[in-house]
Amino acid sequence: MVIIRTPLRITFFGGGTDYPFWFSKNSGIAINATINKFSYVSLKELPPFHPYKYLIRYYLREEEKKISDIKHPVVRGLLGKFNYDQGLDLVHHADLPARTGLGSSSVFTVGLLHALYSFRGTLITKERLASEAIHFEQNVIKEAVGSQDQISASYGGFNVINFRENGTFSVKPAILKKDNLKIIEDNLFLCYTGLARNAADIAADQIRNKNNNVVTLNEISEIARQGEKLFSSPRVNIKELGSLLDYQWQLKKNLSTSVSNDVVDKIYSIGMKNGAYGGKLLGAGGGGFVLFLVKRELQEDLRKKLGSFLHVPIKFESRGSELIYMD
């Protein structure tokens, strides 16, 4: 049996420039950080006492005799890639809901890929894990996804990821003093909209509008470069970071009419009226989590103002996808 733990992530700057349609012509950048909320994938052999060969448990339960009958596209595709013909019991759990802008779909892909390699006793580097997950999602199962989530899940930490026009990427830790990291962490405020959505649908809409979004995506790239400089300051200025996040969010809403909605706008308005310096909706848009930068001493009042919208405390993590149990 193996258990793989893989972190979810929050993206500060550059989201949208990590799609191949963009960085293959313009290069791209994403600044993100993994958090202490995780996805867990466990694998163990399934004894031959059942009328099925594959027991797959996520939000659905599948009992299948053949890999080709498995409904979950990632599970079906990766088991096929590994030609896994023995009985298998696969279970997936996560700390936070799926389809909420935290990279959960790619986190699951990375976690399952890592689990399958570990299950057969093969070590895999973070770079290879990220690259194979990107290739699988974009080229094998043809999902309309970017490339930052697979990388953040594999590497972990607070990183600046650059995407080159030739399809390769580089990962470097953000230049952050320990005190600055703590300041940012203390001022984070994550709020759940209560809405789940299919990010691939929203991303596909943005891709269809790509010719109309050139100026906006160029601006988002430039904002990310500014953000990188702010993070590396001798003492991070939360107010400036918040203002930059807010500017980026206003731009991002121009990418597609499906990026925001009345619920998201309501939450964002409450945050900005109650002490937030700025923020953004995480992920492609349409729902999920809103991230604010707001002073810790104002967060309790903001929680009250948000009413039934759930606040989720988070901290940064730095380990990435890892094997936490093997027997």
Per-residue pLDDT at 20: 96
102 and 221 housed in the same domain:
no
In this structure, of 24-33, 54-63, 193-202, the range with the lowest mean pLDDT score is 193-202
Q: Residue 150, by phi and psi: left (phi above 0), alpha (psi -120 to 50) or beta?
A: alpha
Q: Tokens at residue 310, please?
A: 């759930």
Query: Which runs of E-coded beta strand occur in the chain?
Result: 2-13, 28-45, 54-57, 61-64, 88-94, 158-163, 169-173, 188-192, 276-281, 289-294, 310-311, 322-326
Q: What is the separation, in whole angstroms, between the first and last Cα of the chain?
A: 5
142 and 20 housed in the same domain:
yes
58 and 188 housed in the same domain:
no
pLDDT at 143 over 90: yes
Per-residue pLDDT at 211: 86
Per-residue pLDDT at 179: 95
187 and 107 housed in the same domain:
no
Taking Cα atoms as reference points, which of 83, 80, 72, 85 lies closest to residue 41? Answer: 72
Q: Tokens at residue 195, please?
A: 């809405």
**Averaged pLDDT for residues 293-316:** 98
Per-residue pLDDT at 199: 75
301 and 182 housed in the same domain:
yes
Tell me the CA distances in angstroms from 158 to 34, 191, 197, one per residue in order. Answer: 7, 20, 26
49 and 109 housed in the same domain:
yes
What share of the chain in percent tops pLDDT 90?
A: 94
Tens of pLDDT, residue by residue over 83-133, are: 998 999 999 999 999 999 999 999 999 999 999 999 999 999 999 999 999
270 and 135 housed in the same domain:
no
250 and 135 housed in the same domain:
no
162 and 226 housed in the same domain:
no
Q: Tokens at residue 31, please?
A: 């600044």
160 and 208 housed in the same domain:
no
CATH of the domain at 31: 3.30.230.10
Rounded to 5°, the CA angle 208-289-270 comes to 110
Provide the domain count of the chain: 2
Per-residue pLDDT at 277: 98
CATH of the domain at 302: 3.30.70.890
Tens of pLDDT, residue by residue over 163-220, are: 999 999 999 999 999 999 999 999 999 999 999 877 777 777 777 888 889 999 999 9
Tens of pLDDT, residue by residue over 313-322, are: 999 999 999 9
295 and 232 housed in the same domain:
yes
Question: What range does the domain containing 44 cover?
Answer: 2-175+317-326
Per-residue pLDDT at 32: 98
Query: b vs e for 109-138, b when ≥16 Cβ sit within 10 Å of the residue's Cβ?
Result: bbbbbbbbbbbeeeebebeebbbbbbebbb
51 and 108 housed in the same domain:
yes
Question: Rounded to a whole number, what is the largest CA-CA distance in the chain?
Answer: 63
Place of tokens 């002073």: 295
Per-residue pLDDT at 201: 78
